[in-house]
Structure 1
Amino acid sequence: MSAIVFAIPGDIDAPTGGYGYDRRLLQEWREMGIEARHLALPGSFPFPTAEDLTATEQLLAVTAPDDILLIDGLAYGAFPEPLAARFADRLVALVHHPLALETGLAPGEVSFLRQSEKLALSHARAVVVTSPATRDMLAAAYAVAPGDITIAIPGTDSVPPATRASIGAAVRLLAVGSIIPRKGYDVLVEALAAIRDRQWIMTIAGSPDYAPRTVEYLQDRIARIGLADRISFVGSVDPGSLWRLYDRTDIFVMSSLYEGYGMVLTEALARGLPIVTTLSGAGAEALPDAAALKVPPGDAAALAKALARLIDVPPERRQRADAAWAAAKTLPRWRDTAQIVAGACLDRDGQEVR
């Protein structure tokens, strides 16, 4: 019987949406009795050294010949074609979003990653994506047959609604995500500067470790416009701390320029929070209009207008929160997501996944 070997580069405990998705699959499979294990790949992907590529090939080579190799897209898209071809009969790619769409890459890096990922995907026996938008992109731009693609939307847990208890008169805003260019925090800061006359406090929870220059720029910009006492970066937070942040939030904000899905949106929806978001991925597009105000990515003026609207009109804020809580009851659960991914890995071997 085949087992799933889930190969993931870097630190699986890193507090990002992609790693969170991966961790949850492994947890659910353990509870479901599906044989699966984590295989740690070097952390240099998506720009691996020659030594790390050799190490990766050796790690994959010592797996059992009937194991299914599920490769996280952060590594898979950077696989040289000969490496992907060697294990083609066992490879399943998990693509959160194409590597070439990461903000801040040099033109040469974009071209390299796009070509590398296209060639590697041509050798996958199956491809799992986290959104319909990513499926459509892989079919249109990466020559992946739609029939080879399985969509496994991120799941949620059944949780109580946030209390949405403001401390004092200020409306509490929350954004969650690593401090990297793609998250659009520079746009968010400009939007907040435009509504500085309103009473609000902004908390941004996310790792500052991936893009130090972005962090430095944001901190300098916030200081220069006089908002350092109202915009707080709290860094990476553990699940309990994140729970408490959601619980005391009045409005959830996502300012991303692009997301393969945007798991934090479903987390906020599951807590019954009103949302202001950019239309930057499938998660935003799937949000009920009654629960969220949606604006174009990169448009600080539109983001400021949407935030001001919900800050200024508490009854609308409560109405959208109620709509979010109603929609939360229809969200997929993590067990459903794990079952879909396991099926994409194992069904072709005649194994029934339950």
Structure 2
Amino acid sequence: MTRAVFAIPGDLATPTGGYRYDREVLARAGTSGVDLVHLALPGSYPNPSADDLLRTAGALVSLPAGDVLLIDGLAYGALPESICLSIKSPIVALVHHPLALESGIPPEAAARLRASERTALAHARAVIVTSRSTARILAEDYDVAPDRITVAEPGTEPVPRAGGSGEPAPVILAVGALSPRKGYDVLVEALARLGGEAWRLVIAGARDRSPDTDAALQAAVARHGLARRITLAGAVSDAELDRLYDGADIFVLPSRYEGYGMVLGEAMARGLPIVTTTGGAAAETVPEGAAIKVPPGDARALASGLSRLIASRRLRADYADRAFRAGEALPGWDDTARIVAGVLARAGADPGHPATQEGSSR
């Protein structure tokens, strides 16, 4: 059995799509022949302190050469080259999305992160990404050879179809932590354009990641007089999230950029009509015809898409059926873990050569 260490910064229990991915891979890799153990790294990444870099270096450099190192890109992309060169284990990088493409960071910080991640990826034996879109970005903009890249899309488990709210005013659901990249400011602006149309919005996602974003969003809701129609639910339990999905009539993802958009898979699996942006991989996560797609950051287009679904129960039913059919074709978490485990096994068996699958970066 291949022995591997999965180095992940921060709290593994954090309720985001990236951490969910990491948890699922850790839990399931053993069934595919990889003994994968968790190594916790400091939570300050991608902006580590000097002390955190020292702690990270000590943990990674001490790993045996016979163990494969799988490392989450949130940390790996910010590692100095000196640490990358000192690691004895073959390195497999997991990139959910490039660090420089996070919204709301200053241009100079984005440039620094892009250069750091580009250098770090040059030292990885293999790179796992969560979407074909990210694979193309790494090949075209980060000079990662396509034969070193493997796509392992997030899994989506079968769930009952959503029952809907049963209310005259459709309930719109958005899921994801409040951050500039998620585009909730654009969503509020879009809904404010709808005038007297009946709707209610629930945003389920942690509110403590970006206090400035949370404060600005509350101010925008108040400014538009929408406090009675918009609920900022904060982080919710899995059971509560299931309840929110079941009681929704429309799902919306207003993100400026997504490395995959796991919540889109969850919405498709439940057969919800979807309005999403085309930011990053979100354009491909939902097949054509299974959602209304609009450009990221375009409040007018987002308002138009939402208005169409709010106004027509028949159109909602049509898109719901298309989304559900698309959801039935999505991979499960066992499929995701099997692909990741395969890359790790090949890296451990032949660490001097690319550990990818033929055609996996398509």
TM range, smaller chain = over 0.9
**Superposed displacement of residue 172, structure 1:** 0.3
Using the alignment, how far apart are the partners of 2:42 and 2:347 within structure 1?
A: 29
Between the two proteins, the alignment pairs up a number of residues equal to 351
Number of the residue aligned with 2:142 = 142
Using the alignment, how far apart are the partners of 2:253 and 2:102 within structure 1?
A: 17
The DSSP-based 3-state class of the residue aligned with 1:35 is: strand
Using the alignment, how far apart are the partners of 2:109 and 2:124 within structure 1?
A: 23
Using the alignment, how far apart are the partners of 1:16 and 1:232 within structure 2?
A: 19
Number of the residue aligned with 2:90 = 90
Given residue 115 of structure 2, which amino acid in structure 1 is its aligned partner? Q
Question: In the TM superposition, what are the counterparts of 1:107-126 in structure 2 within 5 Å?
Answer: 107-126=107-126
Contact residue 268 and residue 275 of structure 1 kept, 8 A: yes
Contact residue 265 and residue 284 of structure 1 kept, 8 A: no
Q: 1:177 to 1:323 in 2, by over 3 A?
A: same
Number of the residue aligned with 2:194 = 195
Given residue 104 of structure 2, which amino acid in structure 1 is its aligned partner? G
Contact residue 63 and residue 89 of structure 2 kept, 8 A: no
Deviates more, 1:56-65 or 1:249-258: 56-65
The DSSP-based 3-state class of the residue aligned with 2:272 is: coil
Number of the residue aligned with 2:259 = 260
Using the alignment, how far apart are the partners of 2:2 and 2:293 within structure 1?
A: 44
Using the alignment, how far apart are the partners of 1:120 and 1:188 within structure 2?
A: 36
The DSSP-based 3-state class of the residue aligned with 1:3 is: strand
Using the alignment, how far apart are the partners of 2:59 and 2:165 within structure 1?
A: 50
**Superposed displacement of residue 301, structure 1:** 0.4
Contact residue 156 and residue 265 of structure 2 kept, 8 A: yes
Using the size of structure 2 for normalisation, the TM-score is 0.94
Number of the residue aligned with 2:249 = 250
Using the alignment, how far apart are the partners of 1:114 and 1:156 within structure 2?
A: 30
Given residue 196 of structure 1, which amino acid in structure 2 is its aligned partner? G
Deviates more, 1:316-325 or 1:251-260: 316-325
The DSSP-based 3-state class of the residue aligned with 1:281 is: coil
Structure of higher RCO (CA pairs closer than 8 Å, 6+ residues apart) = 2
- For the pair 1:153 / 2:179, whether they are aligned, the reply is no
Provide runs of 4+ in structure 1 moved above 4 Å: 30-33
Deviates more, 1:60-69 or 1:104-113: 60-69
Given residue 25 of structure 1, which amino acid in structure 2 is its aligned partner? V
**Superposed displacement of residue 33, structure 1:** 5.5
Contact residue 8 and residue 40 of structure 2 kept, 8 A: yes
Given residue 21 of structure 1, which amino acid in structure 2 is its aligned partner? Y
Contact residue 264 and residue 285 of structure 2 kept, 8 A: no
Contact residue 177 and residue 205 of structure 2 kept, 8 A: yes
The DSSP-based 3-state class of the residue aligned with 1:25 is: helix
- For the pair 1:323 / 2:322, whether they are aligned, the reply is yes
Using the alignment, how far apart are the partners of 1:112 and 1:289 within structure 2?
A: 36
Q: 1:301 to 1:350 in 2, by over 3 A?
A: same
**Superposed displacement of residue 224, structure 1:** 1.4
**Superposed displacement of residue 111, structure 1:** 1.1
- For the pair 1:336 / 2:329, whether they are aligned, the reply is no
Question: In the TM superposition, what are the counterparts of 1:152-301 in structure 2 within 5 Å?
Answer: 152-166=152-166, 168-301=167-300
Given residue 279 of structure 1, which amino acid in structure 2 is its aligned partner? T
Task: Give structure 2 stretches of 5+ with no counterpart.
Answer: 356-362
Contact residue 186 and residue 218 of structure 1 kept, 8 A: yes
**Superposed displacement of residue 89, structure 1:** 4.9
Deviations 1:159-217 (Å, cap 9, x if unpaired)?
11111233x31100000011000001010000000113111100001111111011101
- For the pair 1:65 / 2:51, whether they are aligned, the reply is no
Contact residue 266 and residue 283 of structure 1 kept, 8 A: no
**Superposed displacement of residue 326, structure 1:** 1.5
Deviates more, 1:70-79 or 1:84-93: 84-93
Deviates more, 1:97-106 or 1:55-64: 55-64
**Superposed displacement of residue 49, structure 1:** 0.8
Using the size of structure 1 for normalisation, the TM-score is 0.96
Q: 1:71 to 1:22 in 2, by over 3 A?
A: same
Q: 1:279 to 1:228 in 2, by over 3 A?
A: same
Deviations 1:205-255 (Å, cap 9, x if unpaired)?
111111101110110111111100101100011111111100000000000
Number of the residue aligned with 2:359 = none
Using the alignment, how far apart are the partners of 2:90 and 2:287 within structure 1?
A: 38
Number of the residue aligned with 1:43 = 43
- For the pair 1:3 / 2:3, whether they are aligned, the reply is yes
Contact residue 133 and residue 280 of structure 2 kept, 8 A: yes
Using the alignment, how far apart are the partners of 1:88 and 1:123 within structure 2?
A: 11
Deviates more, 1:14-23 or 1:55-64: 55-64
Contact residue 32 and residue 341 of structure 2 kept, 8 A: no
